[in-house]
Amino acid sequence: MASNYGVKVPLFLLILSLIGSVYYSDASSDEESQPEEFVVTLDHSNFTDFVSKHKFIVVEFYAPWCGHCKKLAPEYEKAASILSKEDPWLILAKVDANEEKNKDLASEFGISGFPTIKILRFGGSVVQEYKGPREADGIVTYVKKQSGPASVEIKSADDAASVVEDKKIVIVGVFPEFSGEKFDNFTTLAERLRSDYEFGHILDAKLLPRGESSISGPTVRLFKPFDELVVDFQEFNVDALQKLIEESSIPTVTVFNNDPSNHPFVIKFFNTETDKAMLFLNFSSKNIDAFKSKYHDVAVQYKGKGICFLIGDLDASEGAFQYFGFKEDQVPLIVIQTNDGEKYLKTNLEPDQIVSWVKEYKDGHVQPYKKSEPIPEVNNEPVKVVVADTLQDMVFNSGKNVLLEFYAPWCGHCKQLAPILDEVAVSLQNDADVVIAKIDATANDIPQGTFDVKGYPTLYFKSASGNVLLYDGDRTKEDIIDFIQKNRDKSAQQESGKDEL
């Protein structure tokens, strides 16, 4: 069976690509200039045995054709060379997940995009996502922290000042002694969330730089650089405490600009499972203060009601505009994206319209917005072009058997598949009941619930009677045609044996 591995494309990854200067170096890889490789190469034959012998290891799953992987490679290698001098050795490894022999291994770790980096602890018994930077110095710093204790003891005011930084979220447990059920639950929480937050524990709250120093009983104190700067919790159920921390760690309004210190909060915003309201405008505009004030008011009004808020500077929002298909002459604009992918849009917005429009959305009075490329004036190539505005007519209402490719223009696998689909289309061009088509999934909205497009290319087949099937076979002309013939609905002419292909 052919692999469906491609580049996973949820919104937060597209936004991540926008702020890529923080995560990706522009340096190019020159393999011949590397006399020694410090990144350990693993595959299906040695992975389990190697990992089982180590308490801590970082593994990158990559594909040789992936542009982001190529950019990461020299930074990852440089970091590995630095970390190889640590005692004990902090190992960075890599697996070519594009290799057929490694596909089962990649599937085991849920790899759906490249590069994906995992942290494996205790011989692989604990697997966590790597959520750190992707340039060498940042990788080194992040890996060193992740390899140490989940929570560090704060013994002095200097320790506290170094742990509680102004621009980061830090969680500190205050205890009369470092033992007991509540302390154990805190350390469990720290292990669970260590890839997202920094943790410390302390006996004397007076050493901490912010908040009231008098604390009665064990307390978890959350420091953050926005809204109320300190939040205290006396809850020590691990699940409940995690939920409280997650809720308190999202700004009332997340700021999306070119300040790197804001980027972790932007990524966290796009990872939330709530509706996402995004206001995009030029931060240098004369009425920016009025927009910020009105937007903050509505964010406070709806906080905790299933919707979170972000304000984005036009200069920093190129990736978002590409994703949504917006144009600069539409700003100021606000868009709300729901968890199921529906989008709602208001363009050329005025500050006084923010509150009423969000209320209209919450009341169900705003119609969804659909992103679509223009309908082609000429569509006479063997593989037909579908856009969002023609999807219903060309696929669902066509009464034909349609093989539809969801692709991305930059996808290497899509480029390899293109001439094969051309051959399929030419072979079947005399069959009036079969259509081979393609849609740029990066430029057109895809109906939720009908097609599950997690990577590129993805192939779906819709029979004339309306059955929708995912094609997961080998990507050869013969296999694709065989699949179509087996799953198509035959016309009356074919049933009578009068049609010859």
Q: 403, 414, 434, 437: which is the annotated catalytic residue? A: 414
Closest CA to 311 of 243, 392, 252: 252
Closest CA to 77 of 114, 42, 37: 37
Strand partners, 6: none
Tell me the C-alpha distance between 34 and 86, whole Å: 20
What secondary structure does DSSP assign to 14-59, as a single string? HHHHHTGGGT---PPP-GGG-SS--SEEE-TTTHHHHHHT-SEEEE
Tell me the C-alpha distance between 6 and 33, whole Å: 30
Q: 19, 69, 189, 310: which is the annotated catalytic residue? A: 69
In which residue are the tokens 């007991």 written?
A: 180
Q: 66, 164, 425, 459: which is the annotated catalytic residue? A: 66
| Cβ proximity of 395 and 386 under 8 Å | yes
The conformation of residue 297, written as its DSSP 8-state character, comes to: H
Strand partners, 199: 151, 171
Q: Let me know if 414 is a catalytic residue.
A: yes
Virtual CA dihedral for 438, 441, 447, 452, nearest 10 degrees? 90
Q: Let me know if 308 is a catalytic residue.
A: no
Residues 6+ apart with CB under 8 A from 364: none
Half-sphere exposure of 102 (CA within 13 A, CB side): 21
Closest CA to 253 of 278, 216, 284: 278
Question: SS3 string of 234-258?
Answer: CCCCHHHHHHHHHHHCCCCEEEECC
3-state secondary structure of 484: helix
What secondary structure does DSSP assign to 427-448, as a single string? HTTT-TTEEEEEEETTTS---T
Tell me the C-alpha distance between 149 and 199, whole Å: 9
The catalytic site residues sit at 66, 69, 411, 414
